[in-house]
Structure 1
Amino acid sequence: MIETFNRSTQARLEVREVDVAYGETTIVGNVGFVLETGTIGCLLGPSGCGKTTLLRAIAGFEPVSRGEVLIRGQRVAKPGWMLPPERRHIGMVFQDFALFPHLSVAGNVGFGLRTTSSSQRRQRVDELLELVGLSHAASLFPHELSGGMQQRVALARAMAPRPDILLLDEPFSSMDAELREQLAREVRTLLKREGVTAILVTHDQLEAFAMADMIGVMSQGAVHQWGTGFGLYHEPVDRFVADFIGQGVLLPASVLDAEQVRTELGQISGQQPHGLEPGTPAEVLIRPDDILYDESSPRQATIVERAFRGAEFLYSLQLDSGSEVLCLVPSHHRHAIGDRIGIRLEADHLVAFACPCTGKS
């Protein structure tokens, strides 16, 4: 039976229990998530975790060995069959840019608009070049641009035809950190305005937070957690997510009941049940913002490292037990390594894991 593809419905993306394998080696295993129309998703993880392979399967460049991919409720990939990429009405930004060397910047951006009128094409090209900060470079050619500028042209070209789904594979990787976050926010604004469903692949969590509504944290071909940036930061489901998202340490603790644990810094309560029996040795995630600098506090810790962050110092503090925690302190409170400072615990979220020695997760 020939499967057809109807573009009249909304651009909802579903990935259902997908595996992607090369020969006998499974690169992506049992991945599933849903992106509603106009939602921006992100596949976030370290290099080699399978996020780009999964993106390529969604695009139609890699076959799935299990599961299925649906766009607008219609199947575009299943084992043994996949709809060609050009029939999925997607846009994709590759890491290697793939610009046309014989076309100017404006020509590259407008390449997918050849069926529109010249005035519409010019308006859309001008709009996108302004967005990516390249209005001044419209007549230049790719070889005259820096790597970062070429990447911005590739982004604008993919967005020009207003695709229903935009796939971005590390699109800001060659730019400096400040420009990456700024452009991520600006691209998000444009995508939201046009109602485009998008997926970003990145290893940079700040970039993910700036752009995405929903984020999937990946490792070794699996999505460990799918949720909002806030949820991933405050309610990680396992140690990998807790360690990969944000900064923090796991501090030894003892479970008091279903919603309370005791640490050397004090008792922590939370609404998220951790499922550990009273008396169980545990570890609690402590973020830098959970430790407040308090000159009047009787509890003190020793500064062992510090990093200047402009408005704040990030101090690594050693507790009397030898355990270390992190603390953000306004930079006008400048202390030297070796100084003792007062601190107090103010944790709003309880995130506890059984100690590895218990054999529980």
Structure 2
Amino acid sequence: MSYLSASMSLMASVPGILACTAALGLVALAPEVAEWPAVQWAPWGVGLLVFGIPHGALDHRIPTESDRSPGGLGFLAGYLGAIAVVLMLWWIAPMAALIGFLVVAAFHFGQGDLYWSRVDRFGLQVEGDDSPDHTGEWPAWRSVLLLLVRGVVPIALPVLVFDAMFAEAANALTGRLFGDSARWAIPESIRKAGLVAVGLLVAFHLATLAVEAWRRPDRRAVALSEAAGSALLVVLFSVVPPVLAMGVYFNAWHSVRHVVRLLPVAEPTRSAARAGQWLTALARFHRSTLPTTLIALAMMGGLWWFVRARTGDVADFGLAALAMVSALTLPHVIVVLGMDRMQAVWDRPRAGEVRS
């Protein structure tokens, strides 16, 4: 792996690992503190402003594969149209909107980690990064397995492990805020079967990584690191209260990884990032994303104002913000699919292949 790919991978991984480990340490050493609402919502209050919202705020500045230029008015119209469709679904069928959001979020979380799995193994890179290590075979099912594990764990485990807590939040969101008469409920037999299915999926994933570490000494460090990351997420979402767990994961793990991936690609930051000037690239990133971030915050506030008569405590504001995040997620996922295609994330690696 070249220096640029290695440095990007390090920057993408360390913040999330530290944040998730800190949350686990808090639960182990001071479980009563981890239950405080202020503590659980703190990663959201800070993280959304620093990386959570900004991580998708440059979607309109990412070149497309066809013309290598950022999107224009047509792109903006499509993006806003997708947001409107999701918000309309929340208004018409809130429970369906919630379920759809969980499915899309699971795909997107796995999608983001799949990119870094490929970077670590094959040096998937941007222009200006040389000495690729695109060797060997990589069956498509390995990509699907990684995407499933890294997507299912952050979504399914909070739903299944903290089922009563999740049901209360889901019913408050869909019922109290949006007036849906449907209620979230998972039969105990289905919940247990779901936990077994997730456990088997993770076990198979870890087994394939163990085989890779044994058969490929050159990939041993990568395989063991990936296994440790998956195990960390399993423990995080199994023992840490969902609001806190998702707060540190979404902002410090998922969003940071996407920002690092974005820096060498997006128009305002790519020259500095490809030159290794990361502080300059980050400064340009935050300066460029500020207007869009403020617009997204205003949209969250607008949605909360629209349903304000039905809201109660500060947690309801968080639920309204979650509905708006779901509306922003759909077009963002479509943009990242374009990045996946542009960067050959789903292509079988071949010797000497470089995609920008």
Q: Which has the higher helix share?
A: 2
TM over 0.5: no
TM-score by length of 1: 0.26
TM-score by length of 2: 0.27
Pick 1 or 2: higher relative contact order, CA cutoff 8 A, min separation 6.
2
For the pair shown, which has the larger CA radius of gyration, 1 or 2?
A: 1
